[in-house]
């Protein structure tokens, strides 16, 4: 006789048994610390707006860096396009402080996926750095991009020290999840305020390896571009550049040198801030990150006025789009994009931003110089390269040259041009322990403006070889004429 109550009881029992079994298998998986299982979970299968297939695997997800406060850093990792097992691992960091490496590094500079102006579809970057290495993008620190903390006050206490500490924790745990990269040659690269993050994280790794008497992370070197390095020399070079590029008046040039002398870049006095406002007013509506290319607002105005002419310069506008940042804001706010990247809905920002105002506003420690870190790491024998796009008015080439000069390193190989397809790609000078490379015509984001030359630079850095000299054919041409 079927007793409805008994049936209910049996059902409940069965549910409990199956729950118990699935819980049991969870526990077993946990106890094995199945890194490959987590790798599989992080694998990105297909992105919305991706109309092409790719040869490489890529992964996105979180690494918890503090269980108690609920801090997790978001990463997106791309295996090299070919033969990832034989290629080094490279971490890329953008600056700000507060800017997302996914917004800038990945989506408009060195990553394989770039976003079209519709904000919905992707195209493949032919100069992606994953042609030469396995590339890991990290949104750092918490509050940046999809990186978060469940303790909201954590967003108000970010600074250089915490960033380095959390990034080191991230790396150690990430390598547990991807053990196939544990002994791999490892490099760090980045630009702008990552001029702080990159040497500081390198220092944290070197010190961690020493303290643990092991090469937990096989760090070989780092490379930074248009990097904040030394506030005094960076300021000196900044005003000199603004003046000699003809962007500011004589009077403002003199005043800024006086009012920002020995000031911090991040925590500057109101007098220095005020004169910086004047410089920006005098410069007008140009893109300070790339002073000779159209600024985003100007080009949208132009699009309406010069539609016909734009067609004739279509190739140019294909090549350089000043509004790339806007496209990623559309794309990364799409719920289906966040879903395919494994973003936790309950931890996602209400609106994804390329740079976090909160993170930069509440930034704590920001040492006025990185030169002491350089000195320590040069002693350690790391490969250190410093590059600069020479049309940047934010951390210009003059700043970088003054900062390098302050290290007083002996020259190994004197100043000379380097070549790309028979044209001068920029200039280079090799010092004992440091190699300087400029990229001609590139702005603050070198790989955005000069993608081909940037990939050449990246390959030379990884190989540890000098930048290319003129092809023998073109040298012949010069001596013949
Ligand atoms: C991508 O690969 C799938 C599976 O191999 C194939 O069916 C599809 O046609 C490919 N798409 C393109 C655009 O090549
Ligand atoms: C943060 O909180 C959310 C919602 O409770 C939770 O799903 C997530 O696992 C927490 N993150 C961390 C790193 O603890």
- Any residues with CB less than 8 A from the CB of 214 and at least 6 apart, and which? none
Distance in Å, CA 34 to ligand 2 centroid: 20
Phi/psi for 93 (5° steps) reads: -130, 135
- Any residues with CB less than 8 A from the CB of 187 and at least 6 apart, and which? 88, 89, 90, 91, 133, 219, 220, 221, 222, 223, 383, 461, 462
Q: Burial, 307: exposed, middle or buried (Cβ in 10 Å; 0-12, 13-18, 19+)?
A: exposed
Residue 193's nearest CA partner among 172, 164, 170 is 164
Cα dihedral across residues 189, 192, 195, 200: positive or negative: negative
Q: Which atom of ligand 2 is nearest to the CA of 72?
A: 13
Of the bound ligands, which one is closest to the alpha carbon of residue 69?
Answer: 2
Residues 317 and 325: their CA atoms lie apart, in Å, by: 15
3-state SS of 210-272 is HHCCCCCCCEEEEEEECCCCEHHHHHHHHHHHHHHCCCCCHHHHHHHHHHCCCCCCCCCCHHH
Q: Which atom of ligand 2 is nearest to the CA of 67?
A: 14
Q: Which atom of ligand 2 is nearest to the CA of 344?
A: 7
Q: Which atom of ligand 1 is nearest to the CA of 51?
A: 13
Q: What digits encode the pLDDT tens for the residues 238-296?
A: 999 999 999 999 999 999 999 999 889 889 899 999 999 999 999 999 999 999 999 98
C-alpha angle 236-385-293 in degrees, rounded to nearest 5:
60
Q: Which domains does the chain have, with CATH numbers?
A: 36-232+366-480 (3.40.50.1820)
Q: Please tell me the predicted confidence (pLDDT) of residue 342.
A: 98
Quote the pTM value. Answer: 0.88
**Residue 440: enclosing H or E segment and its boundaries?**
none
Of the bound ligands, which one is closest to the alpha carbon of residue 63?
Answer: 2
pLDDT above 90 as % of the chain: 81
Q: What digits encode the pLDDT tens for the residues 372-407?
A: 999 999 999 999 999 999 999 999 999 999 999 999
Distance in Å, CA 31 to ligand 2 centroid: 21
Pocket, ligand 2, Cβ cutoff 6 A: 64, 70, 72, 150, 344, 346-347
Distance in Å, CA 62 to ligand 2 centroid: 11
pLDDT-based confidence at residue 47 (cuts at 50, 70, 90): very high
Query: Which one of 344, 345, 348, 349 would you pick to mutate in the ligand 2 pocket, going by the greatest count of ligand atoms within 8 A of its CB?
Result: 344
Phi/psi for 10 (5° steps) reads: -65, -45
Distance in Å, CA 4 to ligand 2 centroid: 41
pLDDT-based confidence at residue 6 (cuts at 50, 70, 90): very low
Q: Please tell me the predicted confidence (pLDDT) of residue 33.
A: 54
52 lines ligand 1 (CB under 6 A): yes
Question: Using CA positions, which residue lies closest to atom 9 of ligand 2?
Answer: 70
Residue 62's nearest CA partner among 352, 355, 345, 354 is 345
Residues 169 and 402: their CA atoms lie apart, in Å, by: 33
Q: What is the DSSP annotation of 111-163?
A: SSEEE-TTSS-EEE-TT-GGGTSEEEEEE-STTSTT-EESSGGGGGS--HHHH
Distance in Å, CA 241 to ligand 1 centroid: 50
Contact call for residues 230 and 404 (beta carbons, < 8 A): no
pLDDT above 70 as % of the chain: 86
Residues 450 and 15: their CA atoms lie apart, in Å, by: 60
Question: Using CA positions, which residue lies closest to atom 6 of ligand 1?
Answer: 53
- Say if residue 178's pLDDT is above 80: yes
**Residue 331: enclosing H or E segment and its boundaries?**
helix 324-332
Query: Which one of 49, 53, 124 would you pick to mutate in the ligand 1 pocket, going by the greatest count of ligand atoms within 8 A of its CB?
Result: 53
Mean pLDDT computed over every residue of the chain: 88
46 lines ligand 1 (CB under 6 A): no
Question: Using CA positions, which residue lies closest to atom 2 of ligand 2?
Answer: 150
Q: What is the DSSP annotation of 183-220?
A: TS-EEEEEETTHHHHHHHHHHHHHHHHHHTTS-SS-EE
Distance in Å, CA 67 to ligand 1 centroid: 41
Q: Which two tokens stand for residue 292?
A: 């000779």
Of the bound ligands, which one is closest to the alpha carbon of residue 54?
Answer: 1
Residues 101 and 289: their CA atoms lie apart, in Å, by: 17
Contact call for residues 286 and 309 (beta carbons, < 8 A): no
Active site residues: 192, 392, 444
What's the CA dihedral at 68, 69, 73, 74 to 10 degrees? 100
53 lines ligand 1 (CB under 6 A): yes
Q: What digits encode the pLDDT tens for the residues 187-238?
A: 999 999 999 999 999 999 999 999 998 778 999 999 999 999 999 999 999 9
Contact call for residues 175 and 217 (beta carbons, < 8 A): yes
Q: Which two tokens stand for residue 348?
A: 């996602």
Q: What digits encode the pLDDT tens for the residues 52-77?
A: 999 999 999 999 999 999 999 999 99
Q: Please tell me the predicted confidence (pLDDT) of residue 126.
A: 96
Q: Which atom of ligand 1 is nearest to the CA of 53?
A: 1
Q: Which atom of ligand 1 is nearest to the CA of 52?
A: 13
Residues 15 and 13: their CA atoms lie apart, in Å, by: 5
Cis amide linkage into residue 424, ω under 30° from 0:
no
């Amino acid at each position: 006789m079927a007793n409805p109550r008994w049936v209910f009881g049996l059902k409940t029992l069965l549910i409990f048994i199956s729950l118990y079994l699935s819980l049991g298998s969870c526990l077993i998986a946990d106890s094995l610390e199945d890194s490959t299982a987590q790798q599989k979970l992080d694998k990105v299968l297909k992105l919305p707006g991706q109309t092409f297939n790719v040869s490489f695997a890529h992964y996105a997800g979180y690494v918890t860096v503090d269980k108690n406060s609920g801090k997790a850093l978001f990463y997106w990792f791309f295996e090299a396009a070919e033969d990832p097992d034989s290629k080094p691992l490279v971490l890329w960091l953008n600056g700000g402080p507060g800017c997302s490496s996914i917004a800038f590094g990945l989506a408009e500079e060195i990553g394989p996926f770039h976003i079209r102006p519709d904000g919905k579809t992707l195209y493949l970057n032919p100069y992606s750095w994953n042609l030469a290495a396995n590339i890991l993008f990290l949104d750092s620190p918490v509050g940046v991009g999809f990186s978060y903390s469940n303790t909201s006050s954590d967003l108000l206490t970010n600074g250089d020290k915490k960033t380095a500490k959390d990034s080191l924790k991230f790396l150690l745990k990430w390598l547990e999840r991807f053990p196939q990269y544990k002994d791999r040659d490892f490099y760090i690269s980045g630009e702008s305020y990552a001029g702080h993050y990159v040497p500081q994280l390198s220092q944290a790794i070197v010190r961690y390896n020493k303290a643990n008497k092991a090469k937990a992370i096989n760090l070989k070197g780092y490379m930074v571009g248009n990097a904040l390095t030394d506030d005094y020399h960076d300021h000196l070079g900044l005003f000199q550049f603004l003046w000699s590029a003809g962007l500011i008046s004589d009077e403002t040039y003199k005043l800024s040198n006086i009012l920002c002398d020995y000031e911090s870049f991040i925590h500057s006095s109101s007098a220095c801030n005020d004169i910086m406002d004047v410089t920006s007013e005098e410069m007008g509506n140009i893109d300070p990150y790339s002073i000779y290319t159209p600024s985003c607002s100007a080009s949208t105005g132009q699009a309406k006025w010069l539609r016909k002419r734009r067609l004739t310069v279509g190739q140019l506008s294909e090549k350089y789009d000043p509004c790339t940042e806007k496209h990623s804001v559309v794309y990364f706010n799409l719920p289906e994009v966040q879903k395919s990247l494994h973003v936790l809905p309950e931890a996602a920002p209400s609106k994804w931003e390329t740079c976090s105002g909160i993170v930069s506003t509440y930034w704590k420690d920001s040492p006025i110089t990185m030169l002491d870190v350089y000195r320590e790491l040069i002693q350690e024998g790391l490969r250190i390269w410093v590059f600069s796009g020479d049309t940047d008015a934010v951390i210009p080439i003059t700043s970088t040259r003054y900062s390098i000069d302050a290290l007083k390193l002996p020259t190994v190989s004197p100043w000379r041009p380097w070549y790309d397809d028979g044209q001068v790609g920029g200039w280079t000078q090799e010092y004992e322990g440091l190699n300087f490379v400029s990229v001609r015509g590139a702005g603050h984001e070198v790989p955005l403006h000069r993608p081909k030359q940037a990939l050449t630079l990246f390959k030379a850095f990884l190989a540890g070889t000098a930048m290319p000299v003129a092809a023998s054919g073109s040298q012949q041409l010069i001596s013949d004429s």
